[in-house]
Structure 1
Amino acid sequence: MDEMESIATDQRDDPHTHFDYCCGVATEVLKFGSLHLRSEHKVLFLIIPGNPGVVGFYKTFMQTLHSMFEYRHPVWAVSHAGHCQPPAPMDMVEDADSAAEGDPFGLNGQIQHKLVFIRKHVPRETSLVLVGHSIGCYIILEIIKRDPELKVLKALMLFPTIERMALSPQGKLMTPLLCNFRFIAYLPLFLLSLLPEGLKARLIRAALGSIPSLDQFVVQPTVGLLSGDCAANAMYMGAQEMRKVLERDNTTIRNNLDKLIFYYGATDHWCPVQYYHDIKQDLPNGDFRLCEHGYRHAFVLDAGQEVAKMVVEWIRRDLDMKT
């Protein structure tokens, strides 16, 4: 690819979807901008999703980031292992025995999955702007802790579930369901997966019909989630979140305080406002912000563009200094 073609590729605002095996599990990567990083790419935005870890949910958010920085920086999102249905004839797992041994669908496996992806696809000299949503924020803290040599320029924590998940209002409701009764949901999920794609899409639109400004981009990724084992893998990961996301990692946060921005919801049942007040009290020098706009925890449903615009304003100066 010559220089002019390279520039044109970076400036196209069309998303590119790529499936590959990472840690032996089918992984979907959604990319705005360059498909491969080159020496001129000083910064990569990398989205670490919540649960379900379906990259298609973040399309509007990513497109807004990419365009507001005038297409200068690639914006990628990497799915959670096993949360996106791979295209035929690609299997969900490359080697069933290795997958069973490594537990790639569990929370620790998902953290390792992201570390391997970064090491494989991101040059060490590239600066990262990590954007985490929900459990993606916990994963980012673990990434930073396990690989302190990574060049993380900023890490943006959106609606962060980084502590006491089972004790949150939503956690109290979901913990027994995810940890003890999730298998009951497998049969209806299997039956849903047999429905025609068009009917599944209509059912999803009906289920989300109470959201007046629903982002239509989220419908098709939700259809994919209802196929095969994706929803079951998401529930399995969720059960581990309830058991393992306990105490906040103040040490890692304190050691990286200058890189971190936290954004808490004012009505977030996964991460109540008390958690915002607690972290501000424990780490008074940190950058902790409370939502003033009424955005829901699952902001991608109807506010992806608005949240992306906020993120751009938070970090524009840091990126201008870097580039």
Structure 2
Amino acid sequence: MHFDLPLPLLFLPSAHSHSPSIIASEICISVKIQCGSRTRFIAKCLNEDMGVDDSLLSNGRKCANFRLCKLSNYTSEILEIQADDPSLHVLFVPGNPGVILFYKDFVEFLYELLGGTASDWEHGRLFSLQEQIDHKIDFIKEELQDIEIPIILVGHSIGSYISVEMFKKSLKKVKYCVGLYPFLTLNPHSRAQLIIAKIAQSQIVAAALSYLTASLGLLPVNVLRFIVKKSLGKSWSSSAVEAACSHLSQYHTMRNVLYMAMTEFKELAETPDWTFLRERKDQCAFLFGVDDHWGPLQLLEEISKQVPGISLFIERENHTHGFCCTEAGSLWVAEHVANLIKNHMVSTNQ
């Protein structure tokens, strides 16, 4: 039986920051229990009051800016917060459907929790999974080629897989990679994944579903917003509701969602690259949810078995895979990510 108890984490303010320090009373306990020939991995996060600055929940936080840019001959959506004198760059890769406005609260919270000294980028997806990866590698080459400060990759869902692939191609620039509710391989026990795969593989069904979804866009805005709030977003933030109304009711958005899902299921039929993760285990961390079929706890157990010593965490606050759709979920995950980044930077600078 092996017990691994990291020390309580301490957030220190940046030298450039005028914001108060943030002390997190979060204790992560990883327990590895060996019973005969079987190995079972259990991870718990025990959270006390985290001393969060209430101003992070107010309208006074710095807003992320939305813009379009030309990248690899395609128009790309970018949500960014630029710092005057950044000490690091955080490049966030969203999950499918890649609608960047879903992550507005998360990006703004993360910026504030990092002391306002990081520049955050997050941009939407294009076409297939491999094209997504290539597109984001091009983003680093074209947008960040001249920077000398560290790049931190943060990915959500399939964005975690993309981030790991980006890490492989950008070893000199990328210093750390965080996967949130990671979709790294197929879950054979997920009925939802099976249904989505069948829909995505049929062009007729995918087109019909996309047209049906697009028909909602013909409704008056107030009616559409009411439907979204009642059916999907009862606890959603206003930015998530607006993102759903403006993007998910478009035909091409749903077609891209299903097309990318089809390519995801093909690529992720293979096992993760354990060799790379072992080589970079000190530069990677993953956060799992309790009941998440995209990143099930069986995957966490497999990672712990294949890559001993890698940082693994479980979120037990019921924020779910779609954490970015609520302010509470966005804040909690932003705190966790900021925590990881700050402690990694401290450990590497010692």
Q: TM-score range by the shorter chain?
A: 0.7 to 0.9
Residues 76-112 of structure 1: CA deviation (Å, up to 9, x unaligned) = 211112xxxxxxxxxxxxxxxxxxxxxxx01111111
- Decide whether the 8 Å contact of 2:185 with 2:272 is kept in 1: yes
C-alpha distance in structure 1 between counterparts of 2:108 and 2:257, whole Å: 25
- Give the Å deviation of 1:164: 1.9
Note the C-alpha offset of 1:55.
1.0
Pairing 1:117-128 to 2, within 5 Å after superposition? 117-122=139-144, 123-128=146-151
Partner of 1:31: 80
Shift of 1:320: 4.7
- CA offset at residue 285 of structure 1? 1.6
1:313 aligned partner: 339
Candidates 37, 43, 46, aligned match of 2:88: 43
Runs of 5+ unmatched residues, structure 2: 1-16, 18-59
| Greater strand content | 2
What is the alpha-carbon distance in structure 1 between the residues aligned to residue 160 and residue 201 of structure 2? 22
Aligned to 1:20: 69
- In structure 2, the partner of 1:63 is 108
Candidates 236, 239, 255, aligned match of 1:232: 255
**Separation in 1 of the partners of 2:295 and 2:343?**
29
| 1:292 matched to 2:316 | yes
Letter in 2 for 1:31: E
How is 1:117-156 mapped onto 2 (pairs within 5 angstroms)? 117-122=139-144, 123-149=146-172, 151-156=173-178
Structure 1 residues 280 and 244, CA, compared in 2 at 3 Å: closer, same or farther? same
**Does the residue aligned with 1:261 lie in a helix, a strand or coil?**
strand
In structure 2, the residue matched to 1:93 is none
Q: Which has the higher helix share?
A: 1
Q: Secondary structure at the match of 1:308?
A: helix
Q: Indicate if the aligned counterparts of 1:169 and 1:270 stay in contact, CA closer than 8 A.
A: no
Structure 1 residue 189, shift from structure 2 partner: 2.5
Contact persistence 1:178–1:236 (CA under 8 A): yes
Distance change in 2, residues 1:23/1:195 (3 Å): farther
- How much identity, in percent, do the aligned residues show? 25
Counterparts in 2 of 1:1-323, with a 5 A limit? 13-34=62-83, 40-81=85-126, 105-122=127-144, 123-149=146-172, 151-165=173-187, 168-180=190-202, 181-209=205-233, 211=234, 213-225=235-247, 226-246=249-269, 247-302=271-326, 303-320=329-346
Question: What do residues 47-91 of structure 1 show as CA deviations (whole Å, max 9, x unaligned)?
Answer: 10000101111111111111122211112211112xxxxxxxxxx
Structure with larger Rg: 2
CA-CA distance at 1:124 after TM superposition: 4.4
Counterpart amino acid of 1:200? L
Paired AA for residue 141 in structure 1: V
- Mapped to 2, the partners of 1:24 and 1:227 lie a distance apart of 22
- Counterpart Cα distance in 2 of 1:318 and 1:285: 15
Please give the TM-score of this superposition, normalised by the length of structure 2.
0.75
Aligned length: 285
| 1:165 and 1:242 in contact (8 A); partners too | no
User: Equivalents in 1 of 2:154, 2:148: separation in Å?
Assistant: 19
* Partner-residue secondary structure (3-state), 2:118: coil
Range with greater deviation from structure 2 (189-198 or 129-138): 189-198
Q: What RMSD in Å do the two structures reach over aligned CA positions? A: 2.3
Inter-partner Cα distance in structure 1 for 2:122 and 2:344 = 21
Question: 3-state SS of the aligned residue for 1:74?
Answer: strand
